[in-house]
Amino acid sequence: MQLKQIFLFALAALAGTIVTAQDIKDDFKPSSLNQPGQQYPQVNSQGYARFRIFAPKADSVRVSLGLGGRGGTVLAKGADGYFTGTTEGPMDEGFHYYHITIDGGTFNDPGTLNYYGSTRWESGIEIPAHDQDFYALKDVEHGNVVQVLFPSKSTNTARRAFVYTPPGYSKDANRRYPVLYLQHGWGEDETAWSNQGHANLIMDNLIADGKAKPFIIVMTYGITNQLRFGHMREFKIDTFQTVLTEELIPYIDAHFRTLANRENRAMAGLSMGGMETHTITLNKPEVFSRYALLSGGVYSPGELKDKSKPGLIFISCGSRENPARVQQAADSLKQAGYNAVSFVSENTAHEFLTWRRSLYQLAPLLFQNK
Amino acid sequence: MQLKQIFLFALAALAGTIVTAQDIKDDFKPSSLNQPGQQYPQVNSQGYARFRIFAPKADSVRVSLGLGGRGGTVLAKGADGYFTGTTEGPMDEGFHYYHITIDGGTFNDPGTLNYYGSTRWESGIEIPAHDQDFYALKDVEHGNVVQVLFPSKSTNTARRAFVYTPPGYSKDANRRYPVLYLQHGWGEDETAWSNQGHANLIMDNLIADGKAKPFIIVMTYGITNQLRFGHMREFKIDTFQTVLTEELIPYIDAHFRTLANRENRAMAGLSMGGMETHTITLNKPEVFSRYALLSGGVYSPGELKDKSKPGLIFISCGSRENPARVQQAADSLKQAGYNAVSFVSENTAHEFLTWRRSLYQLAPLLFQNK
């Protein structure tokens, strides 16, 4: 998928529905992603977001969410020095990145936690999803998220990865686990899947419910050279492929109790991470046996012939992206004899709720017989 | 702040620039804590910091660093829409929190990474220290920083802790390690010691140099009730003491390969974390055998008598704090027969370089004979 297409999908989704002000319910609550003690931004039960920024001597404050390419939500200044405003319609459920523009400069909302997206730490807001239970922090046994610094000779530095180890990992020193290598999207980094993706909580809940077998997830930074937005064709996979397959995988296999073979190794990625997954799995079919593209393109049967047959191909996207393409690709793969599965996240676009749901669907299918 | 004051500060800053401009070396480089690709803020070899903020329609932009209580550094607006300014003098070496004020509102510098301090995620800048090598990322074997979510019945939630496991932890499944429980200061949280403190890199380097024996460090959030600045007397230690000694320590001992006894368990903390360490070690002398207060008060021999004798008492602060008090306390303790050590960080105040250096001095003294 082209980056331009991805961007247009995002804009279309942000446009939302126009609803008149009388319909807005007065049950706003602080977003779950607010910094400790912060009352704003708030979200109501319909999915409207309300922002409040203190800048008593400013002339204009705007929020990038709400009207998409048309300028976002313009906040109105009150006599108390607070700028306040509400999105003109309900937002899609799930996580959204945003920023604010104050007198022409770009800043983050001081009320929220920050998440790395668009190559910067951005503000985040969460519109509670009707199915949010699957990524909720519950009273179950929790796995860990381990920050490792692994040596990378090819890039001449220590690189960071986060490794999810499932509940029980520390209990049985002889048990070994399959591994999923899971990549973030353009402008994000190795923090995305646990911070905004809640990959660890999704796995904890699936494992507690007996719906997925425990496995390890490894998340690292998928960019090894400078990459400018709109210049994706300049992207060379070789350097990242070297880091992943020649440096990270051997490090993980040496430092974690993995089942260190193709059959027990999967690769998945969202958006740009799906493009990386697509290319690397086709380049290195001897390394991975399960592939997943989350809003990140498709495989065709022609690409896969003459390669080691994967045990699973999972392709997903949000319903506001291009679900027909995803479903058709899975159908073609199935007709050609591949174990292909498609998933479409209802009423979501190129955003993290699509990918949280995709991981929730994917995880039970991975390493089924282990 | 009144507009008149801002105007006077602006004049003062301009005057300062005129006087000292010839003295400021033109070798500014981006701070090591900048977000990827960001050129500002910058620091020169003398420790001056230079800020640059894009806000073309703003009237005033100020940085909280530089003039301390007198209003920070006022930035001057250029025709290109950028506000630029340089601190009126060199900053102390090390890490500093700061924020910016734009037309009266408080925001973060979009150029920098954020660090949790003052109960909010703040901008951070690093003035390279002459001794920065001890916390540098080097080509040595690295330990991990493990995020755990441990169940806390007393506070009815899962709580987060970060656990540093030393290099080699995964290699020998039978080896067990001593543990240091290490607390952050007021307004900070469990991310502080690894993010701005570089505790993991300090340990990696000490262990690689053979200067410290490997041990585990556990860092968790030291606040269990609402706490307002200036109302420290309202703080009750009981709830955090329960979380630490009845919930976290048993969890760590069950999930990590610890030497689970008093002799191999230390507690240390900076600032408010030192106060917590002081109180909890005196309340529970059967739990910890090594105590360290980093800019966080002192012990007196009178407090310690009738208690289990600690194997080590470490007391430190910056030279710009109250070093005489720290040294006198250590002298009194030594005269009373305790193994007390004091450390004063030269030319630093109540800031993180004091505490990085304190950990660097403390770690080799802990668990010496293990």
How many CB atoms within 10 Å of residue A207? 21
Task: Give every CB contact of residue A301 below 8 A, 6+ residues apart in sequence.
Answer: A332, A333, A335, A336, A338
Helix, strand, coil proportions of chain B in percent (round to 5)?
30, 30, 45
Amino acid at A227: L
The predicted pLDDT at position B23 comes to 85
pLDDT beyond 70 at B258 = yes
Q: Do the chains contact at A121 and B114, CB–CB below 8 Å?
A: yes
Residues A365 and A289 sit within 8 Å (Cβ to Cβ): no
pLDDT (tens digit per residue) in A179-194: 999 999 999 999 999 9
Which of A121, A164, A175, A256 has the highest number of chain B CBs within 10 A, making it the mutation to test binding with B?
A121
Tell me which DSSP letter residue A78 carries: P
Task: Please list the residues that pair with A294 across neighbouring strands.
Answer: A270, A316
> Is the pLDDT higher at B258 or at B19?
B258
List the beta strands (DSSP E) in B143-233: 144-152, 157-165, 179-183, 216-220
Max CA separation in chain A (angstroms): 70
Closest by Cα among A117, A111, A95, A131 to A205: A131
Residue contact B55–A149, C-beta within 8 A:
no
Under the banding of pLDDT at 50, 70 and 90, the label for residue A2 is: very low
pTM of the model: 0.92
Q: Judge contact between A74 and A62, C-beta under 8 A.
A: yes
Type of residue found at A238:
D
Indicate if the pLDDT at residue B6 is higher than 60: no
Secondary element (H or E) of residue A199: helix A199-208
User: How distant, in Å, are the alpha carbons of A53, A131, B240 from that of A205?
Assistant: 36, 13, 28
Q: Report the distance separating Cα A68 and Cα A38, nearest Å.
A: 25
Report the C-alpha gap between A331 and A298 in whole angstroms.
11
B364 φ, ψ to 5°?
-65, -20
DSSP assignments along A163-196, one per residue: EEE-TTTTT-TT--B-EEEEE--TT--TTHHHHT
- DSSP, collapsed to helix, strand or coil, labels residue A244 as helix
B-chain residues within 8 Å CB-CB of A139?
A: 151, 158
Kindly report, residue by residue over A73-91, the tens digit of the pLDDT: 999 999 999 999 999 999 9
Tell whether A120 lies on the interface with B, counting CB pairs under 8 A: yes
pLDDT in tens, B191-242: 999 999 999 999 999 999 999 999 999 999 998 865 555 666 667 789 999 9
Do you know the residue count of chain B? 370
The answer to whether A38 and A123 have CB atoms below 8 angstroms apart is: no
**Both tokens assigned to B95:** 């890490």
Chain B residues touching residue A228 (CB < 8 angstroms): none
**H helices of chain B, where?**
3-20, 192-195, 199-208, 237-242, 249-255, 272-283, 301-304, 323-335, 352-362
- A54/B104 touch (CB, cutoff 8 Å), yes or no: yes
- Distances, alpha carbon B276 to alpha carbons B11, B14, B109, B227, B241, in Å: 44, 44, 32, 14, 8
pLDDT attached to residue A23: 85
What is the radius of gyration, based on Cα positions, of chain B? 22
* Chain A contact for B137 (CB, 8 A cutoff): yes
| pLDDT score, position B224 | 83
Q: Does B151 touch chain A (CB under 8 A)?
A: yes
**Structural domains present in chain B:** 24-128 (2.60.40.10), 133-365 (3.40.50.1820)
Separation CA B323–CA B319 (nearest Å): 6
Q: B57: closest CA among A106, A197, A282?
A: A106
For the cut 70, the answer to whether the pLDDT of residue A11 exceeds it is no
Tell me, yes or no, if B168 comes closer than 8 A to chain A by beta carbon: no
pLDDT class of A315 with cuts at 50, 70, 90: very high
Cβ of B144 within 8 Å of Cβ of A146? The answer is yes
What are the C-alpha distances in Å from A237 to residues A11, A65, A271, B10?
A: 28, 33, 15, 51
> A with B: how many residue pairs have Cβ under 8 Å apart?
119
Q: Is A343 an 8 Å CB contact of chain B?
A: no
Number of neighbours of residue B175 by Cβ within 10 angstroms: 11
A58 — contact with chain B (CB < 8 Å)?
yes
Output phi, psi for A219, to 5 deg. -125, 120
Which alpha helices (H) appear in A209-294, and where do they start and end? 237-242, 249-255, 272-283
Using an 8 Å CB-CB cutoff, list chain A residues near B147: 144-147, 194
Count CB neighbours of A67 within 10 A.
18
Average pLDDT over residues A189-201: 98
Q: What average pLDDT does the segment B165-172 reach?
A: 95
What is the average pLDDT score of chain A?
A: 92
- Which three-class secondary structure state does DSSP give residue B315? strand
Q: What's the pLDDT tens digit per position in A259-271?
A: 999 999 999 999 9
Complete edge-to-edge strand list for the sheet that includes strand B82-86:
B29-30, B42-43, B49-54, B82-86, B73-77, B61-63, B100-102, B105-107
Best residue in B146, B169, B184 for a mutation probing chain A (most A CBs within 10 Å): B146
Residues of chain A with Cβ-Cβ distance to B137 below 8 Å are: 149, 157-158
Q: Which pLDDT belongs to residue A12?
A: 44
Q: What is the pLDDT of residue A236?
A: 78
Q: Which residues of A touch B106 (CB under 8 A)?
A: 54, 110
Q: Is the pLDDT of residue A69 over 60?
A: no
pLDDT tier for residue A301 given thresholds of 50, 70 and 90: very high
Q: Is B64 helix (H, G, I), strand (E, B) or coil?
A: coil
Report d(CA B59, CA A297) in Å as an integer.
47
User: How far apart are alpha carbons B258 and B223 in whole angstroms?
Assistant: 25
DSSP readout, B105-120? EEE--TTB-EEEETTE
Q: Residue A113: pLDDT above 70? A: yes
CB neighbour list of residue A8: distance below 8 Å, 6 or more residues apart: none
Using CA coordinates, name the residue in chain A closest to B103. Answer: A57
| Residue A218: strand pairing partners | A163, A181
Cα–Cα distances (Å) from A128 to A131, B170, B347, in that order, read 8, 39, 49
Q: Which of B105, B150, B157 sits opposite A102 (nearest CB)?
A: B105
d(CA A218, CA A181): 5
Pick from A59, A110, A144: CB nearest B146 = A144
Query: Which of the residues A114, A140, A144, A160 would you substitute to probe the B interface, choosing the one with the greatest number of B C-beta atoms within 10 Å?
Result: A144
Inter-chain touch A170–B139, beta carbons under 8 Å: no
How far A346 CA lies from chain B's nearest CA (Å)? 31
Asked if residue B22 has pLDDT above 60, the reply is no
A175–chain B Cβ distance below 8 A for any pair: no
Query: Does the pLDDT of residue B57 top 70, yes or no?
Result: yes
